[in-house]
Amino acid sequence: MGQPSSGLARAVWDLAAAQGELGCRVTIQTTSAWVEDPVADASVPVRPRVRVFPVAGPASIGFSRAAERWARSPDAADFPVLHQHGIWPALSRVTLRWRERLRRPAVVAPHGSLDPQVLAYSRWKKALAMLAYERRNLAGASCLHATAAGEVRQFREFGLRNPVAVIGNGVSDAWLSSEGDAPRFRAAHGLREGARILLYISRIHRKKGLLTLVEAFARSRRMLDGWELVVAGPSYDEPYLAAVGALITEHGLSSRIHLVGELRGVYRRDAFAAAELMVLPSLSENFGLVVAEALGVGVPVITTRGAVAWEALETEQIGWWVNPDLASLEEALLSAARLSPAELSAMGGRGRALILRDYRWGPIAQQTLELYAWLAGDAARPEFVVVG
What is the residue-wise DSSP string for 139-159? HT-SEEEESSHHHHHHHHHTT
C-beta of residue 284 within 8 angstroms of C-beta of residue 309: no
What's the pLDDT score for residue 307?
Answer: 84
Q: C-alpha angle with apex 286: 311 to 31, nearest 5 degrees?
A: 155
Which CATH superfamily hosts domain 173-358? Glycogen Phosphorylase B; (3.40.50.2000)
Residues of the chain with CATH 3.40.50.2000: 7-170+360-386, 173-358
Alpha carbon 147 to chain centroid, angstroms: 10
pLDDT in tens, 349-359: 999 999 999 99
Per-residue tens of pLDDT for the chain, all 388 residues: 444 447 788 899 999 999 999 999 999 999 876 545 444 444 556 688 999 999 998 888 899 999 999 999 999 999 999 999 999 999 999 999 999 999 999 999 999 999 998 898 889 999 999 999 999 999 999 999 999 988 999 999 999 999 999 999 999 999 999 999 999 999 999 999 899 999 999 999 998 999 999 999 999 999 999 999 999 999 988 999 999 999 999 999 999 999 999 998 899 999 999 999 999 999 988 899 999 999 999 999 999 998 888 999 999 999 999 999 999 999 999 999 999 999 999 999 999 999 999 999 999 999 999 999 999 999 999 999 999 8
H-type alpha helices, the chain: 7-21, 38-41, 65-71, 91-102, 116-119, 123-129, 135-139, 149-157, 173-177, 182-189, 210-219, 238-250, 265-274, 289-296, 312-315, 326-337, 341-358, 361-375
List the end-to-end C-alpha distance of the chain, in Å, as a whole number: 28
Pairing of strands 301-304, 319-322: parallel
What's the pLDDT score for residue 60?
Answer: 82
C-beta of residue 140 within 8 angstroms of C-beta of residue 10: no
Q: How far apart are CA 121 and CA 335, in angstroms?
A: 33
What's the pLDDT score for residue 8?
Answer: 87
What's the pLDDT score for residue 44?
Answer: 55
Contacts of 120 (CB under 8 A, 6+ apart): none
Contacts of 186 (CB under 8 A, 6+ apart): 193, 195, 274
Predicted TM-score (pTM) of the model is 0.90
Look up the CATH number of domain 7-170+360-386. Answer: 3.40.50.2000
